[in-house]
């Protein structure tokens, strides 16, 4: 076992032993594309387990209470939603999802293949989609994932999460991440500790890295010029994982940063902490 892995598992062991550390929860924003934080019943030491839409959700302890940290899909309808909690007995706990409307963004893409891919491109895209969804669906059991992030790149936030996008006048899926404008070659840093679970070069996303932060919290970094980590690397907060680039479908140099909870893309800004 290398030194990085040893430190990682020692820290994890301390958490599992019952030590309660301070944890920065993401900002609660129970809207489509947001995060709901729901207090759960549970024992003093063992955490309850919770599911939302048949997907396991993160459960963390803050103070003397357990909380479910739930990613809400952009497709969710406003109203009452339920999580299923399993402990000594099964419970259904309601929470309210509020309405939110996202603004539109119209972009002109010079490379028309990036808007209307060829038959060969579509075959590649379908294959890559399976790899990307497999990375987002991973679950690694950890006691207290670090959910307080630093910004991975120094630069202005150019395209916020949730935009209803139109490429060359054609509607596409809402923007599932946060774009940060920065010159080519700008360092990209891990926003928190985690494990690199996949890297690749994809048709739309270009050079891409996925980091697993534990309990279904996965981050993705796209359009990189080059990648400085490999699969199974243990990274710490602030470690450089690559450089900003213009690979994949882009209109200029920038980082597309996605945050996924329970295999649901959510607003990365909810995880940014002022103190860091």
| pLDDT tens-digit map of 188-213 | 999 999 999 999 999 989 999 999 99
Do 256 and 239 touch, CB atoms closer than 8 A? no
Rounded Cα distance between 257 and 273, Å, is 16
Domain 104-271 fold: Glucose Permease (Domain IIA) (2.70.70)
Helix (H, G, I), strand (E, B) or coil at 216: coil
Residue 42 has pLDDT above 80, yes or no: no
Residue 273 has pLDDT above 60, yes or no: yes
The two structure tokens encoding residue 30: 């129970």
Rounded Cα distance between 249 and 109, Å, is 8
DSSP annotation of 109 reads: -
Mean pLDDT of the chain: 86
- pLDDT tier at 115 (50, 70, 90 boundaries)? low
Chain mean position to CA 262: 9
Q: Give this prediction's pTM.
A: 0.85
Considering the segment(s) 3-97 as one domain, its CATH architecture is Sandwich (2.60)
Do 31 and 71 touch, CB atoms closer than 8 A? no
Q: Hey, where are the domains in the chain?
A: 3-97, 104-271
- Give me the pLDDT at residue 110, please: 64
Rounded Cα distance between 207 and 205, Å, is 6
Residue 117 has pLDDT above 70, yes or no: yes
| pLDDT tens-digit map of 8-17 | 443 444 334 3
DSSP annotation of 231 reads: T
Rounded Cα distance between 198 and 192, Å, is 17
């Amino acid at each position: 076992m290398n030194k990085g892995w040893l430190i990682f598992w020692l820290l994890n062991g301390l958490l599992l032993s019952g030590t309660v550390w301070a944890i920065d929860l993401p900002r609660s924003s129970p809207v489509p594309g947001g995060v709901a934080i729901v207090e759960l019943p549970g024992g003093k030491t063992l955490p309850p387990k919770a599911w939302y839409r048949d997907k396991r959700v993160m459960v963390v302890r803050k103070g003397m209470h357990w909380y479910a940290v739930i990613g809400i899909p952009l497709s969710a309808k406003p109203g009452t939603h339920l999580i299923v909690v399993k402990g000594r007995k099964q419970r259904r706990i309601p929470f309210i999802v509020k309405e939110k409307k996202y603004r539109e963004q119209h972009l002109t893409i010079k490379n028309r293949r990036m808007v209307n891919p060829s038959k060969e491109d579509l075959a590649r895209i379908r294959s890559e989609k399976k790899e990307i969804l497999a990375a987002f669906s991973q679950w690694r059991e950890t006691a207290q994932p670090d959910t307080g992030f630093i910004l991975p790149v120094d630069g202005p936030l150019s395209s916020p999460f949730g935009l209803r996008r139109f490429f060359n006048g054609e509607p596409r899926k809402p923007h599932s991440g946060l774009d940060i404008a920065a010159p080519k070659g700008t360092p990209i840093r891990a926003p928190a500790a985690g494990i690199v679970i996949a890297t690749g070069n994809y048709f739309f996303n270009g050079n891409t890295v996925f980091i697993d932060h534990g309990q279904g919290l996965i981050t993705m970094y796209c359009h990189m010029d080059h990648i400085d980590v490999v699969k199974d690397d243990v990274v710490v907060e602030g470690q450089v994982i690559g450089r900003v680039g213009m690979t994949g479908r882009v209109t200029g140099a920038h980082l597309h940063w996605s945050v996924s909870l329970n295999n649901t893309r959510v607003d990365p800004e909810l995880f940014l902490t002022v103190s860091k």
